[in-house]
Structures are given as C-alpha cells and as structure tokens.
Amino acid sequence: MAKRLLLISNSTMAGEEYLGWPRTYISDFLKSEGVNKVTFVPYAGVNLSEESLEASYNVYLKRVAGVFGAMGFEVESVHKATNPVLMINEAEAIAVGGGNTFHLVAMMHQTGIMDAIRGKAERGTPYMGWSAGANVACPSLKTTNDMPIMEPSSFDTLGLVPFQINPHYLDANPEGHGGETRQQRIEEFLAINRDVTVVGLREASLLYAEGKLLKLLGSRDMRLFRFGTEPVEYNPGSDLSFLL
C-alpha cells in the first residue's frame, strides 16, 4: 500500500493554542483514512518541570489527547504499553510528537519501535509527526536543531522520505547574535553529505505525502537545499513529488 505521511514543521505558533494551526490538516488526514485511535510516541518530551521522564510523558500524552479528543480521535501512548512494538503493530495511525530529537531517536531504537513504525508506515498505516517527529521520518536525525542530550545507538531513523527536513527553518539569526545562520549550518551538512537534499521547512508549513505524491501545505514558503546550487523557494501548494 502507498505511504501516507503528514510531516509538520512545528506544533504551535506564538499566541495560538497547542497544535492550533495544523489542526484542520491533522483532522482531515485522519478522517480520510477512517482512523478512530491514534498511537502516540511521546519520547521527545523531556520536561524538566516534571519529577521523572514517565511523568513528562504522561503530561505530554494528556496534552495531545486533549487536542485529538476534541477532534474525535482516541489516543494511546507507547510509553504505557508493556509491549510497545505490539502496540505499534496494531496501530491504526501513528503520531510522533516534537521535543528533543536525540532522546526520541534513542528511545525509538531502545524500545524497538523504530523498525516497527517503519514497517507499518511502509505498509500504508498513516504516519504524522511534528518537529522532531518530522525529523525522524527522514533517513537520519542529522538535520535536527536539537542539543544531543542523549546518545542514540544510531543516527539512522525511519527513512520514510529520501530527503532530510530541517524543521523550524529560520532565514536569519536573532538580532545581536553572531553565530552561524540556519542556512550556513545546512550548508555545513551538505559539504559532508553532498548527495543529500535538505528541505528547510518553515513554521506554519507541512509536507503531505501519499504514495508518489508530495505537496507543500500551510502558509509559508519552503526552501530547498542541494550541494553546489543556490537554494530554491517553493510556494504552498507546490507539487514536490520529484523529491520522492
């Protein structure tokens, strides 16, 4: 069956509710597939205000379940499962939340769900992810913006798309900051990984994939990076199927 993917740059815009801007896209995506229950992966949620990682995951689950519940979908979380791989294998749809990509990838490898999710998505189970959850749909985590707070057993991720995503892509550094721009960081990556394409996915934008179709949705342009060429901008609604 054809892969069905919703890869979202960010969960929340300033001044909006959590998962506010992509809510309609999420609802339409799941309803079009007849989904009733979503299996959630909370492992990117590392919250220092909580007493433990388990508590952090519980808070994350409650937040996501509240949003999805209001749209008519039940949510279960792999961190509650005695057998996370079995839960993934029985999932109607999979959602991977944002947060720290390194911790997320480490836990996905450690629990065995990396391979399980890949297999399910390759067989047509709807997959969505925001921020870190979009990163892990790529071949590796190497274009994340996050600090390596934990060392995964491998940087390899799901490989559901053949290109890399840089979520939360910014065009310039904050005023007064003298460090590298996001474009310069991506160009560093491309200097070492010359055959890889990188999508700079700005906030309030997402990629929708179904089989051999890939489209940019949302309200912001996307920037495409390849080694040795100038970046190219694409407008919302653009057909990006050539990237697959």
Q: Is-catalytic flag, 156?
A: no
**Whether CATH 3.50.50.60 fits 4-164+202-219+234-243:** no
- Of the residues 109, 156, 168, 221, only one is catalytic, namely 168
**What is the DSSP code string of 24-67?**
HHHHHHHHHTT--EEEEE-TT---TTSSSHHHHHHHHHHHHHHH
Task: Supply 244's token pair.
Answer: 């697959």
User: Per-residue pLDDT tens for 219-242?
Assistant: 999 999 999 999 999 999 999 999
Q: Position of tokens 């990629």?
A: 207
- Of the residues 56, 131, 140, 205, only one is catalytic, namely 131
Gap between the Cα atoms of 133 and 7, Å rounded:
8
User: Per-residue pLDDT tens for 45-60?
Assistant: 997 666 788 889 999 9
The residue extents of the domains of the chain are 4-164+202-219+234-243
Task: Supply 139's token pair.
Answer: 């071949």
pLDDT at 180: 83
User: Per-residue pLDDT tens for 125-169?
Assistant: 999 999 999 999 999 999 999 999 999 999 999 999 999 999 999
pLDDT at 52: 86
Q: Is-catalytic flag, 131?
A: yes
Task: Supply 36's token pair.
Answer: 């009733």
Closest by CA position to 193, among listed 137, 138, 133: 138
Q: Is-catalytic flag, 140?
A: no
- Indicate yes or no: pTM above 0.75: yes
